[in-house]
Structure 1
Amino acid sequence: MFRLNKNIISVFTIATLLLGIISLLWLVYDYFLYNQIKPVILGFGELGSLEQLAEFVWLSYLFMFMVHIIAGITLLLHLRYFRVIGLINILIVLFGITSFLAVFSDWAILGDISKEYEAGLDTSGEWPILYILLGIHTIFFLLLTGVSAAVLRRLKEKRGEEMTVQKDEMVFTAAQYVGLICGVIGLFWTVFALVVSQRLPVSYYHMLASSIMILIPYGLVVLYWFILKCNEKIGDWYDEKQSRDVYRSGFTTLVLTIPLMLALFLVIHNDALFIRGDYFWFPFLIFTSLFLFSLLTLVSYRRT
């Protein structure tokens, strides 16, 4: 049993709302600065005063990285308090994870543009990606501010100062959704990197770093779950239905993963298809297991 005070929800929600608005304003700044810098860089001109203004772009993504963490905590608190997962919750989790991962891509692409500009290389291919990522960030922060404002209004209308949440079923469900999304993104990235590696070198360290970044959102939810459960016995972490669903999903995931990994082993070691890719099997195993386990657990949990 856990009693969640409404005042705590309000503080986190107000902070998230304000941070979301600031992030949106900063994205507008980034957009207009991109429009100013892009023709100069493509034409290999002198940046001049724009170079100092560009420093705020780097700072904006560092700021948004922290906002994503705070927003994740706030959204988990919302789920635990209202005990409802609807379409808007799924959308904000989906765009939130994508936007969070996109922050790392922004840093990498901006770094590449800077290096290629100094080396006199063409950077036209990177700019469309930057604008797409900017759009993803914008959608997420619009959803975040809208949901935060709606929650504040709902909190004012809601009677009672606190609610009792049993077995944290919303955190349990949210963890499966996050695991499902991270698993899909991770599988897509692993397959994409495997294909690309046949033409361009993809280092072991690059795959390791990118896999860890994709798993960060799921890791944070799991960490939050463990913090909630640290004072309970392991046998009390799940109710009877949750335990049954977890055991069934875990066993089914194990059974399905074995033939999938065998197929991957045969494909990767077929020299006619792939000339390199020995270290892709582990990310594939992790993300396949995460995807299957989360999907099967959600299906079982929603079935009854």
Structure 2
Amino acid sequence: MKHKKNGQLVWGILLFCFTAASTGLLIFFKQKIQNHISIQDYLSYGEAGLLILIGCIHLFGIKNVIKRIKESKHASILSSMAFVFGLFSLFLLLVDVVMLQEIGNEIFAAHDNSGEWQIIFFNHAIHFLFSLIFIVQSFYKRKDRMDHEATQPALKNEVVFLTVQQIGIFTAITGLAFTSYLLHFQIPSDFVTGLLFISTLVLMIPYILITVYWFYTKRKEKPSDWYDEKQIHDISRAGLITMAVTEFMMCVWFGLSITEVIESGSILLFPFYSFLSILFFSGITLYMNRYQ
């Protein structure tokens, strides 16, 4: 176990260092391009190599997080956060590649590519965040007080249930934050719609995967046995409150649309409605499970 923790610490530090090196090189590239100075090929290859290394460590990190979630005997907020940010950061790494290709294609054109650079540096901030979470995880010592008696399956089911809600909360918060970022900063309009739609789908992946895993753990049980009495009570109240709140929000949205305060076909409807619904449902369920 000690070797595994040390290994994860090393990978986390490497991810942080590679991301820092990539960021520094990209800042150098930006200055060169702004001054209309050509970039040497070996530097471009170096940046490509760094992005590949960052991607490989992301894959290792996500695999490690999935293993932790499956083996953990308690719901870990840190693991849930790492799962969401890991997949999202990996997606943003692909966005980095697309943005760099776009900049490369327009390097000799009189085109303002500040928006592309802003997206790239924002993405690298997320890479930094994931590396820090990965490093912190290596120091995190689980206080496993659960034994291996016959009650363990029931406890494991509770862990998965709580993990689903935690991942739902982090998915929703990340989605709302990224949506707000795309709309309030100087992002090229050509990229906003595509990024908004694809990022919404990508951010749903952690929530969908953990939900599918929860269904998998219940495959041998009857549907009537999927939830215990308290869980049924919690999700019922959470579902009712979420429905009431989201219906109210849709009424407000409709009112703003018919008064032309916002566009009726606004691209915001899908991501905001989806993430707010998940946030309310998972947040209320988790709150009731722990405090009521």
TM-score bracket for this pair, using the shorter chain length: 0.7 to 0.9
Determine the C-alpha separation between the residues in 2 that align with 1:222 and 1:259. Answer: 27
Q: Name the structure 2 match of 1:43.
A: 35
Match in the other structure for 1:175: 164
Secondary structure of the structure 2 residue equivalent to 1:168: helix
Aligned partners of 2:192 and 2:19: how far apart in 1? 32
**What is the Cα deviation at residue 248 of structure 1?**
1.4
Aligned to 2:271: 283
Residues 1:266 and 2:255 aligned together: yes
Distance 1:248 1:98 in 2: 30
Judge which range, 183-192 or 292-301, deviates more: 183-192
Within 2, Cα distance between the matches of 1:246 and 1:261?
Answer: 22
Q: Which residue of 2 aligns with 1:143?
A: 133
3-state SS of the aligned residue for 1:230?
Answer: coil
Structure 1 residue 246: deviation in Å? 0.9
Equivalent of 1:30, from 19, 22, 26? Answer: 22
Of the structure 1 ranges 102-111 and 246-255, higher mean CA displacement relative to structure 2 is found in 102-111
TM-score by length of 2: 0.78
Are the aligned partners of 1:42 and 1:124 in contact in 2 as well (CA < 8 Å)?
no
Once superposed, what is the RMSD of the aligned Cα atoms?
A: 3.8
Unmatched segments (≥5 aa) in structure 2:
none
Query: C-alpha separation between the residues in 2 aligned to 1:236 and 1:287?
Result: 28
Query: Given that residues 12 and 131 in structure 2 are in contact (C-alpha distance below 8 angstroms), is that contact kept between their aligned partners in structure 1?
Result: yes
Q: Distance in 1 between matches of 2:146 and 2:273?
A: 46
Residue ranges of structure 1 left out of the alignment (5+ in a row) = 1-8
Give the TM-score taking structure 1 as reference length: 0.75
AA partner of residue 110 (structure 1): L
> Quick check: 1:245–1:300 contact (8 Å CA) kept in 2?
yes
Matched, 1:130 2:120: yes
Other-structure match for 1:216: 205
Deviation of 1:96 (Å): 4.5
AA matched with 1:296: I
- In the TM superposition, residue 128 of structure 1 has moved relative to its aligned partner by 5.2
Residue aligning to 1:240: 229
Listed as ranges, the matches of 1:1-304 within 5 Å are 16-17=8-9, 19-48=11-40, 49-77=42-70, 80-81=72-73, 83=74, 85=76, 92=82, 96=86, 99-100=89-90, 102-127=92-117, 129-151=119-141, 164-165=152-153, 166-190=155-179, 200=189, 206-271=195-260, 273-275=261-263, 277-304=265-292
